[in-house]
Amino acid sequence: MNQQLPRGIRNNNPGNIRHGANWLGLNPNGRNIDSAFCVFTAPVYGIRALAKVLINYKRIHGLNTVRQIVSRYAPPNENQTTAYIQSVAKQLGVYPDTVIDIEERGVLTVFIKAVIRMENGIQPYSDEIIQQGIDLLTRPNRAFFMKGINMLRLIELLKLNQPSTWRGLISLLSDLGVAISPELIEHIVALAVSAFGIVEIVRSEKTGK
C-alpha cells in the first residue's frame, strides 16, 4: 500500500473507525498495523462499518440531523467539527439542523462520501464500491442464508424440534449421573422444542400452509 495515501485509505477504513467492535472484514493483524484505528481487508468492509455507525446513531441514539450526527462522530476535541458539519450539510444540500433519514439510501450514500472526504482529504471510491459496502450491511449475502438453510436441515436431521429427542438426551445425562428433576426436564423440553420449532414455521411459510 502506498504510504503516501491517507491513513484511512491505507487501512481500508475510510471512516477512521477506532478499534473496539469486532467488525466484519477486520484484518486479523490489524492492531499490529495500526494500534489506534481498525484495518479492514478491503474498502467495502470499512464502508460497511461506517454505514453501520451512522445508522446506529439514528436507531440507538435518535440522531437525525447533520449537526447531531457529525457532532458525535467527529467531536470538537479531535476535529474541526463546525467545518465538518458545514461540509457534510452542503454536500447533502440541507441545513445542518434539517431532519434527515440516514437510512434512506441516497442520503446514506452522500453522507458516507462526505465523511470519507472529510476524514481523508479525498474520496477515491467509485459509486460501485460505496454501494457494495452498503449492500453488505443492508442485504445479507447468500452465504448467510445458506448457513441458515443448512442449520434448518441439521435441526430436521437430528429431530431437535421433537420432544422425544430432548427427553432422550436428558435421559442420557441422567445415566451419566446428572441429577435433573422431572419438572426441570419438562421445562427444558418445552424451551428446546419452542426454540427449534422454527423449522416448522419456515416449512409452513415455504409451502404456503
pLDDT band at 95 (very low <50, low <70, confident <90, very high): very high
Residue 208's region, left for phi above 0, alpha for psi from -120 to 50, else beta, is left
Percent of the chain exceeding pLDDT 90 equals 63
> What is the pLDDT averaged over residues 138-161?
54
Burial class (CB within 10 angstroms; exposed 0-12, middle 13-18, buried 19+) of 47? buried
The predicted structure's pLDDT at residue 112? 98
At 25, the pLDDT band (50, 70, 90 cuts) reads: very high
91: left (phi > 0), else alpha (psi -120 to 50), else beta?
alpha
Identify whether the C-beta of residue 15 lies closer than 8 Å to the C-beta of residue 8. Answer: yes
SS3 26: strand
**Position 124 confidence tier, pLDDT thresholds 50, 70, 90:** very high
pTM of this structure: 0.68
Q: What is the pLDDT of residues 185-204, one digit of tens each?
A: 576 666 665 655 544 444 44
CA gyration radius, the chain: 24
| The three cell numbers locating residue 151 | 442449520
Calculate the CA dihedral of residues 25, 23, 39, 113 and round it to 10 degrees.
Answer: 90
> Do residues 169 and 176 touch, judged by C-beta distance below 8 A?
no
Read off the pLDDT of residues 44-68 as tens digits, 9 standing for 90 and up: 999 999 999 999 999 999 999 999 9
Of the pLDDT bands very low, low, confident and very high (cuts 50, 70, 90), residue 138 is confident
Rounded CA gap, 14 and 193, in Å?
A: 45
Supply the mean pLDDT for the chain: 82
